[in-house]
């Protein structure tokens, strides 16, 4: 559906008039990867606060609302749904984790929220990006990733229900991991939501925001993340690499195809780069301009000015008339202003000087943290490694090397990227390359049946012409990976007389816990031994997202009768208690059960009968 929409004339209009749609992304990510060693990033938090003092920490700026340190916690208050109380802190970081333990102290309603600011100017000026958690966290938009645009309006990019109910008075641990324009929400250690649409800048730090509530925070930490591994974690979906942009729905290697890929939530946009006659790197796949423009001739025989005048869209569809062959600089500027990461293929024959020009274009725009280089030519990758060792490298292959691991080590690869046909000849290379720390991404695959086969084979990503469809397939994959708790059902109210059995529907091994303690699938639950109130069944398949089912043990006359009849009390005590129960004299029963006259009761059962009789009397 995304692809079909993007193929319309609307995409062309969007590119020429950005204000016609939601505010464009501003993604001036910081180029810091080469400056800070990964080990130092992993070990040294840039912010670590326990709020043990009496004043706001040094460098923290309360932009608006009420912010104070009290009783070992930071407390932020917003008195109305229209007020955004904000406090800023920290330093600009590209890849980082922000985490805290927080608690709603009060809230105007379930829709009020707290947010972790992911990229916010110290003075609070728009635009900025946040990750929000609502008081009513299990609603469909209990979690969000959102942007405040330059026009001071909201652009909510992603929503989901949180895996736990928060509410007033309950402390929860929250964290967001940010990598460039991508981020992942965690609640109580469980992954709950992802985005590829974080709005970035060169100067924004971190922040906390409160809306229509009072929220307190403790143990807040911001930690730079080490260099990213491109090996897919167990339970994660396939990485989406958009081949020549969204090339099934827009003319390849143009701003329009980039826009399609961006809207399709591709993590990386793949483009090809070649030099013109005068040495300007431009985005084009073929050796000539004949197939994809209204011009003719070899790209290396045309000047950049000549290429700039060509129509690169009409061949695909009339709606794309006027699309141009971008220079690499224009392509990078577009990614910077509208969002996205670049998988750049160094195409055809290059000299060391032309490779150096590519590096200059990337570094000038501070984009090394958002560019991944690939090529069929090992020499190109050697030059890249010498000139820009911070850039991740991938080797493209139409046929497999005799020893992929050896060449990967020799070139310092982050990825080994074979064609699908080549991969079929030896799928075991995934395990071999993973053991060497090298990811495997297969090209160019547009068929869902092959996506499934490749996912099962353990590959890390797919280079595809259909990024929207692969993103949708990934969404379904994540849903399939979630177990379903059939019993106890979510929201079920259970009395002591009911018999419960844990039932979780999962297509793979699943870990189940009751109130944090392991239980087996199919295990019977003794309702008489469970405390009154809410209980939580959690189920997790592998390292996937955990799901919850909350049920409540409640007091009922039937349940109380079961407690009495199975109590082991003396015959006279049981007779007296059942008589009082039959007469609905719950308050008298509560008093009697607490006296020595109710002989034979254990201390635990006595307390249960008294508590449930009192609950029935009060209700």
Residues with Cβ within 8 Å of 152's Cβ and at least 6 positions away in sequence, in order, are: 126
Residues with Cβ within 8 Å of 323's Cβ and at least 6 positions away in sequence, in order, are: 12, 251, 254, 255, 256, 311, 312, 313
Cα 66 to Cα 297: distance, rounded to the nearest angstrom: 65
Cα 26 to Cα 197: distance, rounded to the nearest angstrom: 10
Cα 124 to Cα 592: distance, rounded to the nearest angstrom: 63
Q: What are phi and psi of 378, to 5 degrees?
A: -55, -35
Annotated catalytic residue 562: no
Cα 462 to Cα 447: distance, rounded to the nearest angstrom: 11
Collapsed DSSP state (helix, strand, coil) of residue 406 = helix
Write the DSSP string, 179-213: ETTEEEEEETTEEEEEES---B-SS-EEEEEEESE
Give, in order, the Cα–Cα distances in Å from 335 to each of 167, 248, 369, 528.
Answer: 39, 20, 12, 60
Does residue 310 contact residue 331 with C-beta atoms inside 8 Å? no
Across-strand partners of 75? 68, 216
Annotated catalytic residue 385: no
Helices 571-582 and 557-565 pack at an angle, to 10 degrees, of 170
Does residue 231 contact residue 436 with C-beta atoms inside 8 Å? no
What DSSP designation does 428 have?
A: T
Cα 220 to Cα 175: distance, rounded to the nearest angstrom: 10
Catalytic residue among 243, 350, 434, 535: 243
Cα 386 to Cα 356: distance, rounded to the nearest angstrom: 10
Give, in order, the Cα–Cα distances in Å from 296 to each of 167, 255, 324, 571.
Answer: 65, 21, 14, 102
- Longest Cα–Cα distance of the chain, Å, equals 106
Report the candidate in 246, 262, 204 with the shortest Cα–Cα distance to residue 18.
262
Q: Where are the beta strands (DSSP E) in 108-169?
A: 113-120, 128-134, 143-148, 154-160
Cα 17 to Cα 330: distance, rounded to the nearest angstrom: 17
Does residue 369 contact residue 94 with C-beta atoms inside 8 Å? yes
Does residue 149 contact residue 129 with C-beta atoms inside 8 Å? no
Structure tokens at 223: 């930690």
Cα 139 to Cα 421: distance, rounded to the nearest angstrom: 45
Q: Where are the beta strands (DSSP E) in 387-490?
A: 393-397, 415-418, 439-442, 461-464, 484-487
The residues that are catalytic are 243, 285
């Amino acid at each position: 559906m995304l692809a079909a929409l993007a193929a319309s004339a609307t995409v062309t209009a969007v590119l020429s008039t950005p204000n016609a749609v939601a505010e464009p992304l501003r993604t001036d990510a910081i180029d810091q990867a080469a400056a800070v060693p990964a080990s130092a990033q992993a070990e040294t938090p840039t912010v670590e606060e326990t709020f043990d003092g009496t004043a706001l920490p040094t460098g923290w700026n309360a932009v608006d609302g009420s912010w104070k340190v009290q009783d070992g916690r930071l407390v932020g208050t917003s008195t109305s749904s229209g007020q955004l109380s904000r406090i800023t802190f920290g330093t600009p970081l590209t890849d980082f984790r922000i985490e805290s333990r927080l608690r709603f102290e009060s809230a105007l309603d379930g829709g009020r929220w707290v947010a972790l600011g992911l990229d916010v100017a110290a003075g609070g000026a728009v635009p900025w990006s946040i990750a929000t958690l609502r008081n009513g966290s299990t609603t469909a938009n209990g979690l969000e990733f959102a942007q405040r645009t330059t026009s001071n309006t909201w652009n909510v990019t992603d929503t989901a229900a949180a895996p736990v109910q928060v509410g007033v008075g309950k402390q929860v641990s929250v964290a967001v991991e940010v990598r460039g324009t991508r981020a992942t929400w965690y609640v109580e250690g469980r992954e709950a939501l992802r985005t590829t649409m974080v709005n970035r800048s060169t100067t924004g730090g971190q922040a906390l925001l409160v809306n229509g509530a009072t929220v307190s925070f403790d143990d807040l930490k911001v930690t730079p993340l080490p260099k990213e591994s491109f090996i897919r974690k167990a339970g994660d979906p396939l990485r989406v690499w958009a081949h020549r942009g969204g090339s099934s729905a827009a003319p390849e290697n143009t701003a329009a195809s980039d826009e399609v890929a961006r809207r399709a939530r591709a993590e990386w946009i793949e483009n090809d780069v070649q030099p013109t006659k005068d040495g300007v790197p431009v985005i084009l796949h073929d050796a000539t301009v004949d197939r994809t423009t209204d011009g003719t001739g070899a790209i290396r025989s045309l000047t950049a000015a000549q290429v700039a005048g060509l129509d690169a869209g009409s061949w695909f569809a009339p709606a794309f008339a006027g699309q141009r062959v971008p220079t690499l600089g224009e392509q990078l500027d577009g990614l910077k202003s509208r969002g996205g990461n670049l998988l750049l293929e160094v195409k055809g024959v290059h000299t060391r000087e032309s490779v150096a020009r590519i590096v200059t274009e990337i570094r000038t725009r501070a984009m090394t943290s958002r560019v991944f280089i690939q090529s069929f030519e090992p020499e190109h990758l050697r030059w890249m490694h010498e000139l820009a060792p911070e850039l991740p490298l991938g080797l493209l292959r139409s046929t497999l090397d005799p020893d992929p691991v050896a060449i990967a080590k020799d070139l310092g690869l982050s990825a080994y990227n074979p064609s699908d046909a080549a991969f079929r000849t030896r799928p075991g290379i995934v395990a071999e390359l993973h053991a060497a720390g090298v990811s495997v991404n297969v090209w160019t695959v547009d068929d869902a049946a092959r996506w499934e086969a490749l996912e099962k084979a353990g590959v890390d990503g797919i280079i595809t012409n259909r990024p929207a469809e692969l993103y949708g397939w990934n969404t379904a994959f994540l849903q399939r990976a979630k177990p379903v708790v059939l019993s106890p059902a979510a929201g079920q109210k259970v009395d002591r007389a009911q018999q419960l059995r844990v039932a979780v529907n999962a297509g793979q091994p699943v870990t189940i816990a009751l109130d944090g303690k392991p239980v087996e699938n199919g295990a019977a639950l003794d309702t008489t031994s469970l405390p009154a109130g809410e209980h939580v069944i959690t189920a997790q398949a592998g390292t996937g997202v955990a799901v919850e089912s909350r049920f409540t043990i409640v007091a009922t006359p039937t349940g109380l009768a079961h407690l009495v009849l199975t109590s082991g009390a003396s015959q006279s005590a049981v007779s007296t208690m059942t008589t009082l129960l039959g007469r609905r004299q719950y308050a008298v029963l509560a008093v009697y059960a607490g006296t020595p006259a109710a002989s034979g009761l254990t201390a635990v059962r006595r307390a249960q009968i008294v508590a449930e009789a009192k609950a029935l009397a009060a209700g």
